[in-house]
Structure 1
């Protein structure tokens, strides 16, 4: 971004692409907004946010909208693609180019992985990834980091457990990718073998040198954790109801399990929760997921303020495909649905022989 008070990043698709100096600036600004919200009541007056949500959302969409309103701005958008020209067959490129004419930033949720990056190729205004399929959810990551810092005092040296649908949990992938950038963190991965972390996240964990273990029972590790990050089993990510029911109900945090946990444990959840945390556990002071949700609004306020300060418009220059003949092998990647998109790949430093899709981080194939 332009201007001394703006963050360096123009878009936010993945926390891993953000300089830590940007995170520090967003964190400081969010903390100031929590302490003195009235000081920021008019800083986005005249600015408009476009909320383009191609799949359902409550917390993320509401928090973006509330954030812009509390900054003195306004918003337009849709919460269901059937209420937009997408239902008539319009592609993502044309939707983004059109919406960017009317707004100062776009917050986009999409069921296909890599959709946010694809949008940045054609947008004249900042694009913020509000969740792209099972891939990434960077504004939730900013929220989670702020919450951990509030309650643990530091983002370093924490023992963090992730439980549930780690395969499809974009919040999990994003947060792990963020926490490996801070020294001394270790991870316990609690899931069935069918719902383990995807290979690209495991590779990043191993390349970081952070310690991690995989277990299949909460009881086996809860007594050794500083943070327990619960997730729901995501029915919408399964091919059939039968596959979903084979996994649902396997991880339930109840009073008996909480009795095994340290007094200073914090339990987080990106919400919505279904049956993976019992109602009586909600009243345990160690469960901070509703405060976590509130923090999401302040983080998005800080991000919108910093990304829209200069009000500039940009003429995007979509790149060409960088490896002829290769396609991403991930069927949920945006490039396998919007075929005009250039194929783009990167070579991870830890394994340069393996080409990864720049949109969704999955492997390429001939």
Structure 2
């Protein structure tokens, strides 16, 4: 039984296999519409979510399976003090696979240690978000045709942004990927990511607070919001929340084939005047996420369809 807690739980070969399956599902969804008949997905979301939870539910329903679960800790036995370990033991009796989001780093790891079914980390605090990474990789590969030989800009909250941490961990395994890390000084990537991932692997990267200077060099721009829920005081959030705003004027500096991604939700870090630019693909990214999660569910349940 395999779980997905971190992008590093998948080898490059496994990642590529899931992405290839997702692309086949995208090309012929009807072929996969009954592959999960009789299977159930449990969604255990201790933290609010729109896209990720509904994307998982859509993925399972598209595969012919069913969904059960809860959308907030308030509607679970966590309010009575039940531990994650006990909850997953119970859920293992009801479902075949589980997607868990939790505000505490490491909670899905605890769940995996006590689970009788595959556990998917749907986001744990500021740590990891591996299925968003699958979504991002599928988006980039589908639109550009490759995951190597590119310059990726990451802009906004790089300290608490689990989507950023997960994507860096995944993309450093592909050759000749360079990062431009754009953030206020207070929201730079964590030290462990800089030292243990980028420096240790001799990855080419620049840390800067100047979006306009490096925009012309980028093949991908990954925008993120400054996350109010990760701050200890409102003054710091208000001071930093508008640090970088991408608008149509700034987009004039970018390459004609640069794509803008965003894990969403957007607050105001991307102006709505960018939405009609063909390079703005953050809403397409949402649809790619359904295909990526369909492929992951099939992989973890060892399911396939006849060719």
Q: 1:274 aligns with which of 267, 280, 294?
A: 267
* Count of matched residue pairs: 302
User: Counterparts of 2:179 and 2:67 in 1: how far apart (Å)?
Assistant: 38
Q: In the TM superposition, what whole-angstrom CA distance separates every residue of 1:118-156 from its partner, at most 9, and x where no partner exists?
A: 111000000000000000000000110111111121100
Give the Cα–Cα distance (whole angstroms) in 2 for the partners of residues 208 and 292 of structure 1: 28
1:152 to 140, 144, 147: 144
Q: Distance in 2 between matches of 1:226 and 1:309?
A: 35
For the pair 1:78 / 2:70, whether they are aligned, the reply is: yes
Name the SS for the 1:292 alignment partner: helix
Q: CA deviation at 1:200?
A: 1.1
Deviation at 1:24, TM superposition (A): 1.6
1:33 maps to what in 2? 25
Please show how residues 185-200 of structure 1 align to structure 2 within 5 Å. 185-200=177-192
2:162 alignment counterpart: 170
2:277 counterpart of 1:284 = yes
- Give 1:297's match in structure 2, choosing from 267, 290, 293: 290
**Residue equivalent to 1:225:** 218
Query: Structure 1 length normalisation: TM-score?
Result: 0.82
Q: Output the CA distance in 2 between the equivalents of 1:72 and 1:139.
A: 20
Mapped pair 1:132 → 2:124: yes
Structure 1 position 254 matched with structure 2 position 247 = yes
* C-alpha RMSD of the superposition: 0.8
* TM-score w.r.t. length of structure 2: 0.97
Q: How far apart, in 2, do the equivalents of 1:45 and 1:210 lie?
A: 44
- Return structure 1 stretches of 4+ with deviation > 4 angstroms: none
Q: Specify which structure has the higher proportion of helix.
A: 2
- Structure 2 stretches lacking a partner, 5+ long: none
Q: Give the Å deviation of 1:288.
A: 0.4
Matched, 1:245 2:238: yes
Could you tell me which of 54, 74, 83 is aligned with 2:46?
54
The structure that has the greater radius of gyration is 1
Give 1:276-355 correspondences, 5 Å limit. Answer: 276-309=269-302
Deviation at 1:168, TM superposition (A): 0.3
Q: Deviations over 1:189-230 (max 9, x none)?
A: 000110000011111111111100011021010011000000
Counterparts of 2:32 and 2:142, CA distance in 1: 21
Listed as ranges, the matches of 1:17-28 within 5 Å are: 17-28=9-20
